[in-house]
Structures are given as C-alpha cells and as structure tokens.
C-alpha cells in the first residue's frame, strides 16, 4: 500500500509528484463533448426544459438588478432634493423590486439544483455503463490500466465535475448579461470627461466604461498569472485524497487479517505516510491561495472607491447629481463583478477541472481498452457449437507477457456428464476457467458452447451483493424472478434452510455468512438458475467431504442434463464422472492428460475436488 507514483514521505518532494494535471484544453473539450450528451438522446427534453427555465430566470434576475440600480439613482436624487413624496414612492417600489428578486431567486434555486441533480445522475449512469459494459471493469483491472480509485471518481468526482459547472455557467451568463447592461449605464450616465494637464486638454469618451474595463482586465490577468499553477496543485491533492481513501477502504476490508497479525502499528505508519502526501499537497494549495490573496485583497477593497474618485470631479462641477454618482458606483461594481468572474471563481474552476479530468480518465480508459482489444491479436474465440455441452478445441492460454501457461487443452463435456480437471497452483486452472468465461485475452484456440446453452460459473470466492438475501440468491437476475417456494427449495437443497426466515433482510452477507455458507449460496444459485453448463472453480474448498457429495448430488438430481466441469487441485472424479484430467507441467506450458494416479471408487474422496 503506497502513495501514488513518485510520492515519498518527504514533504517537499512528494507534493508535485503526480504529472500531467495542469490545465489542458484537450481535456476540457473532451469533457464538453462527453457531458453535453445529457442534452441529447433520451433525457434531452427534460434537460433543455430545465436549461431554458434557468436561462429565463437569469434574464429576469438581471432585469431586476438593473431596476434596482435605477432605483438607487431615483432614491438618492429624491433624498438630495428633500422630496418626501418621491422618497415614499421609492420605498414602495423598492419593496416591489425586492419581492420580485426573491421570487426570481426561488426559481433559480429550483431549476439550478434540479439541473445539477439530473446532470450528475446522467454522468454517473454513463460512466458506470461504460465501465461495466463489455466487462471493461475486469479487463482494466487485469491489464493494470484502470485509473486509481474508480469508485471515488464515479461517486465524488462526478459531482464536482457537474454541480460547480452549473454554478459557474450561471455566473458566466450572468456576468455577460450584467456587463452589457451596466456598461450601457456607465456609458450613458458617465458620459465623456475632459482631462486638463497644464495647457493641454484630453477628451476621453465614455471614460467610466474605459476605466471599468481596464481595471477589471488588469485584475483578472494578474490573478490568472499568479494562480496559474493552482489547477495542477488541486489535481495532485485530489489524487492523494483518493489514495488515502483507498488505503482506509483496504484496511476495513482486511480488518480480520490485520487484527489477527497484530498489524495495527504497521497500518498506522502506512496511513501516516500516505496522509503526509495529502498534507503536503494541501500546503501547496495554501501557498497558492496566499499568493492569490495578495491580488484579491488589493483589488477588492478598491472597487467601490475607484468609481467615486473618478466621478467626484464631475460631481463637484455640477455635471453629475448625487444619485447619478451612486448609480455609477453601483454600475461600476457590477461591471467589475462581471469582468472579474474568472478572478472570483479561479479556485472553483481549478477544483472543477481536477474532477472533470478524473472523470475523463475513466471514460478514456474504457475507450482505450476497447481499442487495445480491437487492435490486438484475435485471441481465444468463443463459438457456438452444433452439439450441446462444453468443448475446448486446441485451447492455449498465455500470460500478459506472452509466455504460455497452458500449451494445449482439448476436452469435451457433453450434456448429462461430469468431468474433473486437477492441477497444482499456477498450473493454469484459473486461466482455463477465465478463458471459458470469455475473460482471458492471451492465447488461441476455441471454446465451444451449445447455441442455446446457458453457462454459469461458481468461483471459490462467491460474490454477494449489497442487497437482501433474496436478491443475493437470484443474482445475477435474468428474466422473471423465481418464486419464494423455488428459493426456499434451493436453500434447502444447498443446506441453507436455516436462512429461509432472513430472505428479506438486507446486510453485508459476505461478512455475516461463513466461508462454507457463501459457497453453499453459490450452489443455491445454480439450483435456482438451472444452467446447461456448470463450471465449479474450486467451489467447495470450505466444505467437508460429505457436504460436497450432498451438493453434487443435488445438482445432478435437479439438473440431470447439465454438463458439469469441476476444476480443483486434487485429481478426483465427480460422482458419475467418466474420467478425470490433470494439467501436467512441460517445457512449453501445461497440457491436459490423465491424472498421475488411478481413481479408486471405493476410496472416499478427499478435500480439494
């Protein structure tokens, strides 16, 4: 368990270790193409409806803000003229404007948050579909090309790649509309200014507009220049956070083994080393924030004062009223907010980009594994067979480096028969099972199944989903669910009748059930689904000999026509099997042959069938 590549406990060297996390427009464009799929296809009508409603609310919000700006001029002019009637009228109008702004704000909140929820749901669904589709989750893990912490990317990064983007989009649209609206106010109210220097006069048209634009652009450029490295720092911090979260998850999943070995102190040191990287990368962000604060804290306090200073000469000359001065100051501030949108949201943009990149890493990885499979060698073929049952025709299995594990395997398991394959550890037994399941890419040869044959594999470590026991038993659900009577009969046949009363309970069944009970659950599934071809991959290692015999008898009684292939370490026949085969080690890989000893049907079967 280590930190991400290049990390060490040394603070200064670990923080910048993760490469290629700085701003990349290719990633932004790729995320745009991917995420805008929400506005296409099945859910496009809802997406466009929410977007249009949000746009209308934003236009109304800007209209109300402009109305409030005009009200400011009206109020201060009435105050300066000591016109009590106009003051009372302005107060009534003020409450009407505030009520309108409140109602518009509610509309913005409702449409914005609904858009965020549905967009994130679409992104999560799309990434999960790509990850699970065509068994990419397995191939990515086996090839070592799966991005780190995929569960964090799907659950958390999908949120931070969508929700802030809606807020940023709202801010950007509002900034553009506000800039156009309030620049027109600066232009019309501020007018031109004649600057006298000595005997020279300089005519400056729309001087308040020029001042506002220059002030905002200079501040934004300074902020982007000072904070340009923040994006990479945030990305590296998120990578370290994901590594630490994964380490905690590993500790939880292996709690029993760690406790039995007394590994608490070792785990504490490992977690401390990993979290030290998180701390150092956070400190790099703090350092970047400190540099940005020099700019933001210098520009921010000057924003409301600068327009007053530049409007003061015209006010003293009687060219502007007090109301017009306050209106110009308010408009100037609104223009600054619009122009400095990047300044004010630079941190959020950095956070969004880091998460968007992590989401796109998942999408790109799924596309890359498909490309590798398409461009790679043909590999092991899965073909329909005119005859039912299972057959291996010249099957050879290679490891990822191209070295042969199984040189050749030929066998046939017709319906209503059982066959055993035995072999030592690392002899290629698991590779053969994976090839039959269509999971192993390296090698050649053909796996043949009957055209309508349904195959089901019972692995040594059976999987139990987070669901009710009923759902765990019928997993993977296919077609109409079995009745309660069928489930009860399957439990009874697998020796799990005592679990009948817990069918609708939800829990961590992988922790609540013993190893033997979990293997019995796998047999209960077989009894429920009744496949035509059954592969037992060391599926009874936690059971005693009599329990194995009972389960195998239940399989054959329930599915007399099924073809059953048992793969294990000991060269033993299944009850009713015609023969057993063994994987023999040779120079070019293992091959299937007769077991090293003759099976004696009078001798009891031993462990590891």
pLDDT at residue 573, rounded to an integer: 52
Residue 227 has pLDDT above 90, yes or no: no
Report how far apart, in Å, the C-alpha atoms of 190 and of each of 66, 170, 175, 338 are.
Answer: 16, 29, 21, 19
- Average pLDDT on 168-175 reads 86
Q: Cα(77)–Cα(553) distance, rounded to whole angstroms?
A: 97
Residues 117 and 236 in one domain: yes
Among 289, 64, 54, 296, which residue's Cα sits nearest to residue 172? 54
CA distance 293 to 585: 68
**Whole-number Cα distances in Å, 144 to 148, 189, 423, 570, 585:** 10, 65, 27, 32, 28
For residues 335 and 456, state if they share a domain: no
Domain of residue 24, CATH code: 1.20.1560.10
Query: pLDDT tier at 9 (50, 70, 90 boundaries)?
Result: very low
* Per-residue confidence band for 596, with pLDDT thresholds at 50, 70 and 90: low
Q: What is the CATH number of the domain that holds 548?
A: 3.40.50.300
Spatial separation of the C-alpha atoms in residues 144 and 579, rounded to whole Å: 38
Q: Is there a single domain that holds both residue 403 and residue 525?
A: yes
Residue 1 in any domain: the answer is no
pLDDT tens, position by position, 439-474: 887 888 999 998 888 999 998 888 888 889 999 899
DSSP symbols for 276-318: HHHHHHHHHHHHHHHHHHHHHHHHGGGTTTHHHHHHHHHHHTT
Asked whether residue 520 falls in the same domain as residue 584, the answer is yes
DSSP calls for 539-572: TTTTS-HHHHHHHHHHHHHH-TT-EEEEEESS--
- Residue ending a domain, choose from 339, 374, 409: 374
Is 608 part of any domain?
Answer: no
| Stretch among 52-66, 513-527, 578-592 having the lowest mean pLDDT | 578-592
In a domain, 6, yes or no: no
As a whole number of angstroms, the distance between CA 431 and CA 407 comes to 12
What confidence score (pLDDT) does residue 359 get? 93
Residues 420 and 504 in one domain: yes
Provide the number of structural domains found in the chain: 2
Under 8 Å between Cβ of 227 and 288: yes
Dihedral of alpha carbons 466, 467, 473, 476, sign? negative
CB-CB contact of 397 with 443 (8 Å)? yes
Residues 358 and 402 in one domain: no
At residue 527 the predicted structure's pLDDT band, cuts being 50, 70 and 90, is: very high
Residue 120 and residue 152 in one domain: yes
Whole-structure pTM over 0.75, yes or no? no
Q: What percent of the chain clears pLDDT 70, i.e. is strictly above it?
A: 91
Judge if 574 and 513 occupy the same domain. Answer: yes
**pLDDT tier at 477 (50, 70, 90 boundaries)?**
confident
347 domain-assigned: yes
The number of residues in the chain equals 609
Between strands 590-593 and 404-413, the pairing is parallel
> Do residues 66 and 119 share a domain?
yes
In a shared domain, residues 387 and 458? yes
- The closest of 515, 480, 487 to 503, measured between CA atoms, is 487
pLDDT in tens, 341-367: 776 777 788 778 888 988 999 999 999
pLDDT at 223: 74
Indicate the residue among 323, 347, 374 that finishes a domain.
374
Question: In terms of DSSP H, where are the helices of 440-494?
Answer: 469-474, 484-493
Same domain, residue pair 365 and 411: no
Last residue of a domain, one of 374, 402, 437: 374
Q: Which of 15-19, 203-207, 482-486 has the lowest mean pLDDT?
A: 15-19
Place of tokens 């600054």: 336
135 within domain boundaries: yes
What is the rounded average pLDDT for all residues in the chain? 83
pLDDT at res. 322 = 81
pLDDT for res 585: 84
Coil/strand/helix, residue 231: helix
Q: Residue 603: is its pLDDT beyond 80?
A: no
Instruction: Express each pLDDT in 118-157 by its tens digit.
Output: 999 999 999 999 999 988 998 888 888 888 888 888 988 8
Concatenate the DSSP letters of all residues of 80-125 into one string: HTT-HHHHHHHHHHHHHHHHHHHHHHHHHHHHHHHHHHHHHHHHHH
pLDDT digits (tens, 9 = 90+) for 320-346: 888 888 878 878 877 877 777 776 777
Q: Would you call 578 helix, strand, or coil by DSSP?
A: coil
- Please tell me the least confidently modeled range out of 39-48, 95-104, 231-240, 451-460: 231-240
Q: Does residue 440 form part of some domain?
A: yes
Angle at 515 between CA 253 and CA 484, to 5 degrees: 105
Alpha carbon distance 261, 459 (integer Å): 27
Q: Assess if residue 134 is contained within a domain.
A: yes
Is residue 3, in this structure, part of any structural domain at all? no
Residue 577 has pLDDT above 60, yes or no: no
What is the reported pLDDT for 565?
A: 92
Kindly write down the DSSP assignment for every residue of 366-427, as one continuous string: HHHHHHHHHHS---SEEEEESSSSEEEEEEEEE-TTS-EEEEEEEEEE-TT-EEEEE--TTS
Q: Which domain holds residue 310?
A: 11-374
Which range of 179-188, 234-243, 455-464 scores highest in mean pLDDT? It is 455-464
Backbone angles phi, psi at 392, to 5 degrees: -110, 125
Q: Which of 25-29, 36-40, 54-58, 172-176 has the lowest mean pLDDT?
A: 172-176
Considering the domain architecture, whether residues 150 and 252 belong to the same structural domain is answered as yes
The stretch 19-25 carries a mean pLDDT of 61
pLDDT for 382-404, tens place per residue?
Answer: 888 877 889 999 999 988 778 88
pLDDT bracket for residue 491 (50, 70, 90): very high
């Amino acid at each position: 368990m280590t930190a991400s590549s290049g990390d060490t406990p040394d603070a200064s060297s670990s923080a910048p270790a993760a490469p290629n996390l700085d701003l990349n427009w290719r990633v932004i464009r790729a995320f745009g193409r991917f995420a805008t799929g929400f506005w296409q296809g099945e859910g496009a009508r809802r997406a466009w409806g929410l977007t249009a409603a949000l746009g209308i609310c934003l236009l109304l919000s800007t209209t109300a803000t402009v109305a409030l700006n005009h009200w400011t001029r009206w109020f201060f002019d009435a105050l300066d003229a000591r016109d009590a009637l106009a003051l009372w009228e302005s107060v009534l109008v003020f409450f009407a404007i505030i009520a309108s702004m409140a109602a518009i704000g509610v509309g913005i909140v409702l449409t914005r948050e609904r858009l965020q929820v549905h967009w994130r749901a679409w992104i999560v669904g799309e990434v999960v579909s790509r990850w699970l589709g065509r068994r990419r989750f397995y191939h990515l893990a086996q090839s070592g090309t799966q991005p780190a912490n995929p569960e964090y990317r799907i659950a958390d990064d999908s949120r931070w790649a969508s929700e802030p983007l809606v807020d940023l989009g709202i801010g950007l649209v509002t900034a553009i509309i506000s800039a156009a609206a309030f620049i027109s106010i600066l232009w019309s109210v501020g007018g031109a200014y004649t600057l006298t220097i000595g005997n020279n006069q300089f005519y400056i048209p729309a001087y308040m507009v020029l001042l506002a634009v220059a002030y905002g652009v200079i501040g934004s450029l300074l902020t982007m220049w000072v904070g340009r490295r923040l994006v990479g720092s945030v990305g590296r911090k998120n990578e370290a956070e994901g590594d630490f979260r994964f380490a905690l998850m590993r500790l939880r999943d292996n709690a029993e083994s760690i406790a039995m070995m007394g590994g608490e102190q070792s785990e504490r040191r490992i977690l401390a080393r990993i979290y030290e990287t998180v701390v150092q990368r956070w400190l790099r962000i703090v350092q970047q924030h400190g540099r940005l604060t020099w700019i933001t804290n210098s520009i921010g306090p000057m924003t409301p004062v600068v327009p007053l200073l530049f409007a003061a000469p015209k006010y003293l000359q009687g060219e502007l009223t007090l109301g017009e001065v306050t209106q110009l100051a308010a408009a100037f501030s609104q223009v600054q907010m619009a122009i400095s949108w990047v300044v004010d949201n630079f941190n959020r943009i950095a956070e969004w980009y880091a998460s968007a990149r992590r989401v796109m890493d998942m999408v790109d990885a799924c596309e890359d594994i498909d490309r590798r499979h398409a461009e790679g060698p043909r590999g092991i073929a899965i073909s329909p067979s005119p005859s039912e049952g299972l057959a291996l025709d010249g099957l050879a299995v290679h490891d990822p480096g191209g070295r042969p594990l199984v040189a050749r395997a030929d066998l046939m398991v017709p319906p209503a028969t059982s066959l055993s394959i035995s072999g030592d550890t690392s002899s290629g037994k698991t590779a053969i099972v994976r090839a039959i399941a269509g999971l192993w890419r390296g090698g050649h040869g053909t796996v043949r199944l009957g055209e309508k044959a349904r195959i089901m594999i019972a692995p040594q470590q059976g999987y139990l989903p987070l669901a009710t026991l009923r759902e765990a038993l019928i997993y993977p659900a296919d077609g109409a669910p079995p009745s309660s009577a069928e489930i009860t009969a399957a439990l009874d046949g697998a020796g799990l009748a005592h679990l009948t009363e817990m069918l609708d309970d939800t829990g961590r069944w992988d922790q609540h059930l013993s190893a033997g009970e979990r293997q019995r659950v796998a047999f209960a599934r077989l009894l429920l689904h009744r496949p035509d071809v059954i592969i037992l991959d060391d599926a009874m290692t936690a059971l005693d000999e009599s329990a194995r015999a009972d389960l195998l008898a239940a399989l054959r009684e329930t599915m007399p026509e099924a073809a059953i292939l048992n793969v294990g370490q000991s060269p033993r026949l299944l009850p009713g099997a015609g023969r057993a085969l063994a994987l023999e080690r040779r120079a070019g890989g293992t091959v299937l042959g007769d077991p090293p000893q003759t099976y004696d049907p009078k001798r009891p079967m031993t462990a590891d069938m």
